[in-house]
Structure 1
Amino acid sequence: MRGTHEHRTIDALLEEAEVLGGAYDDYDSAAARERLARGQADTRLPAPRRSPEQGDRPSPPDRPAAAGRRYRTAHEQAAHDLDLAISLVVGAPRAADSLARLVDHRRVDPEGALVFGCLLHLVGHREAAQFWWQFAAGGGSRTAAFCLYLHHRCLAEFRDAEYWRDQTARLRGAHRASRAPAASAPGLRGFLLPDAIRRDLLRQCHRGRHPRLPPAVEAVLNRLRVTGDDEDFGEIPQPAPGLPAELARSRTG
């Protein structure tokens, strides 16, 4: 039945999701959408194939997405792929560890910046999300570079999108050459977001909606200290100590 199938799909996505860059090789966005519909998820994310400029009209937003779904424009397709990538990043088992390393000001962590950018995007701070993704990509996160590729494609900024597509491939090659082991922060266990919220983000993607966090969680992020008014990105929220624990305690109400 549909409910059982959807539950199994989200279980598979959450079980296999990884936030660190080593988990994102050989990503194919079209195949990922098909796996999402079938419930056979492989959540590795990096250089995507080009999205078609035209395709079938999408289902209404309150209906489950069909396998092999295509959107009418490249912008809509990129927006859907970015929503899915963001939902997987913030729902991944290592997201809390990564964000914790970022909020500890003794360490500058690219993967934590990736996670923080994804959270900001979910609450509508798109320019600030771009800032943190660029910070993360500059530190070597190819998943952040991939998010930037999709972000610029959503805006029809195709030259910028191709730049970040090339950076995704370059960072993937650098990682394979270095064979650097993935870092892990001891002392923090569990997921960044409660289970119900992680599942709901993916459920919204599955139904073709733009995923949103519950109001209680958005409030946590909207209370963050904002620094300056950057010429390019506007106001930029800053991660605060205790943020991962506060998000983990959040509820849907």
Structure 2
Amino acid sequence: MTPPHNVDKLLADAEILQNEYDDEDTAASRLRIEREVADTWWRSALLLESSAQRVRSELPEDAPRDRARVCTAQHEQAAYDLRKLSTLVIRDTRAAHHIALLARSCRVEPASALIFACLLHLADREGAQFWWQFSAGAGSATAALCLHLMHTQRGELRDAEHWAHEAAFLEDLENQSRPDDDLVCLLRRPPRQGHRGTWYTPQSMIQRTMAILHSGVAASTRVVDSPALAAPPLCRSLAVAVQRLEAKSDDDYGTIPKASFELAARLEDCAVSSL
């Protein structure tokens, strides 16, 4: 049997532990539970939408299209937008120059990291997330948007929401500073105070960024907006160059490819034709 004085001590310790929790802790716990419930509902919604898409594909060809129409699943739309946005990024006229800078210098520019990440993503090479995070951490709103779309595609709602907020914050900073060497900030205009909320929604930022990137791409190589294909595949030589990249392993970030001069040359070559 436990001696009485030990019981008293245990009760005293328990009382002290209980007093460590306050209303803020309770509110934080409630918020965490609400987010987990919302995340579960959202994943369920994605499964229902995917099932609806599968049912639609099995309908007879003569089925009425208006009745068979089903909204595109959110994760599928995110995958479409991410590939299209990535393609527009690598088709910027300065893209090859930025990759060469990344291969030559130990100093990494946000634009160079963004372009490199988009190349890795389009070639289905691991490491895009690391370089997008590097670029976003250095101030690129476009990289933050890419991370928002990547996490949405994966069904990671809370991470997607985080990067949407980061993209809005970084775009606001870009509108104020307007550096000369950023890919997409030059034509942005700060919103009117009364419309700030709608201006910085993820979809409005994605549409605005794509429109600005379109303006920096040669007309002969612009991406066609097709519901069947988010973006054309990389040209063979460029895809091969991406796969040849050397990489190092990191305990925290996994496999991290390194840019090369060959990749910059292949990107330059493909810029004069179809990527």
Scaled by the length of structure 1, the TM-score of the pair is 0.60
Q: Distance in 2 between matches of 1:154 and 1:182?
A: 29
- 1:208 partnered with 2:207: no
Which residue of structure 2 lines up, in the alignment, with residue 168 of structure 1? 167
8 Å contact from structure 1 (residues 142, 172) kept in 2: yes
Q: Measure how far apart 1:107 and its partner are.
A: 2.9
Contact 2:113-2:135 within 8 A present in 1 as well: yes
Match of 2:156 in 1: 157
Structure-1 separation of matches of 2:264 and 2:115: 11
Q: Which residue pairs with 1:248 in the alignment?
A: 268
Residue 149 (structure 1) shift: 0.4
Is 1:143 the counterpart of 2:116? The answer is no
Question: 1:215/1:139 Cα in 2 relative to 1: closer, same or farther (>3 Å)?
Answer: same
- Give the equivalent residue in structure 2 for 1:9: none
Distance 2:235 2:182 in 1: 30
Q: CA deviation at 1:240?
A: 1.3
> Deviations 1:181-221 (Å, cap 9, x if unpaired)?
3369xxxxxxxx9998x45xx24x52522542133321111
Q: How far apart are 1:252 and its partner, in Å?
A: 7.4
Aligned to 1:118: 118
Between 161-170 and 173-182, the greater mean CA deviation after superposition? 173-182
**Corresponding residue SS for 1:219:** helix
Residue 251 of structure 2 aligns with an amino acid whose one-letter code is E
Which of 240, 244, 248 is residue 223 of structure 1 equivalent to? 244
- Residue-pair matches, total: 180
Q: Distance in 2 between matches of 1:91 and 1:231?
A: 32
Larger Rg: 2
**Deviation of 1:71 (Å):** 4.5
Amino acid corresponding to residue 217 of structure 1 in structure 2: L
Alpha-carbon distance in structure 1 between the residues aligned to 2:106 and 2:119: 22
Structure 1: unaligned runs, 5 residues or longer:
1-51, 61-68, 185-192
Q: What residue is the counterpart of 1:90 in the other structure?
A: 90
Alpha-carbon deviation of 1:166? Answer: 0.5
Q: Distance in 2 between matches of 1:130 and 1:92?
A: 20
Alpha carbon RMSD of aligned pairs, Å? 3.4
Give the drift of 1:242.
4.4
C-alpha separation in 1, matches of 2:254 and 2:149: 21
- Residue identity in the other structure for 2:141: R
Structure 1 pair 70–213 and aligned structure 2 pair: CA distance change class (3 A):
farther
Quickly say closer, same or farther: Cα 1:216–1:159, change in 2 above 3 A. same
TM-score (norm 2): 0.56
Letter in 2 for 1:146: L
Displacement of 1:244: 1.4
- Give the 4+ runs in structure 1 shifted more than 3 A: 52-60, 193-196, 250-253
Which residue number in structure 1 is paired with residue 100 of structure 2?
Answer: 100
Question: Larger % of helix: which?
Answer: 2
Identical-pair percentage: 37
SS of structure 2 residue aligned to 1:163: helix
Quote the Cα distance in structure 2 between the aligned partners of 1:241 and 1:79: 29
Cα displacement string for residues 129-188 of structure 1 (whole angstroms, at most 9, x for unaligned residues): 11110011111111000000000000000100011001001111222232333369xxxx
Deviations 1:222-243 (A, max 9, x none): 1111112x33543221001343
Residues 71 and 77 in structure 1, CA contact (< 8 A), matched pair in contact too: no
